[in-house]
Amino acid sequence: MGFEELYRKYYPELYRFAFQLTLSVEDCEDLVQETFTRLFKELKKNTILNNPRAWLYKVLLNLTRKDYKRKSQMKELINNIEYENPISPDFQDNYIKNEKQALVFRALRQINERDRNLLILYHDGFSYTEIAEILEINPNSIGTILSRAIQKLKEILQKKHYELFE
């Protein structure tokens, strides 16, 4: 698969993943652009990528970690959450949906980085094997770690917002 084909195929989901990690449109765009720049360089070297999707996610995750450490903007990221506003005749449903989304993003920031990344990758449809490759975790441990991460997230949400997350 060539660069353009990989770009068209994976850009939207990488963009969404980066946004889930950074909660910043500007950072998200920069990180995804840098990810594809690295892909272009690898392909130019005739590197064969057995699983380009997992490779792209791994590069993006590593870039995000480096960027986060450099900027140390955790509080600013949480305060600058931007929402997608789906068009719906029922404003109240959209409001509740957006509020729940914000609460989930905030709760995700309260669990450790490995568990947060695991939950996001799982939500994005990656297999246990792909998640293990991206996060460099033993594939046999993914199910247990995922179960515990879901439980942690659920406890945080129910503790503070029981009425919304029964």
List, run by run, the mean pLDDT of 10-residue segments along the chain (166 residues). Answer: 93 93 88 95 92 94 83 48 50 67 82 89 89 91 91 85 58
Tokens of 165: 């997350």
Helix axes 3-22, 52-71, angle to 10 degrees: 40
What is the DSSP annotation of 107-152?
HHTTS-HHHHHHHHHHHTT--HHHHHHHHT--GGGHHHHHHHHHHH
The second-level CATH assignment, the architecture, of 89-166 is: Orthogonal Bundle (1.10)
> What does the pLDDT read at residue 78?
44
pLDDT at res. 73: 43
Q: What is the pTM of this model?
A: 0.60
- Name the segment(s) of the chain with CATH classification 1.10.1740.10: 1-82
Angle 27-29-31 from CA coordinates, rounded to 5°: 65
pLDDT at position 165: 55
d(CA 166, CA 161): 9
CATH 1.20.1250.20 fits 1-82, yes or no: no
Ranges for all domains in the chain classified under CATH 1.10.10.10: 89-166
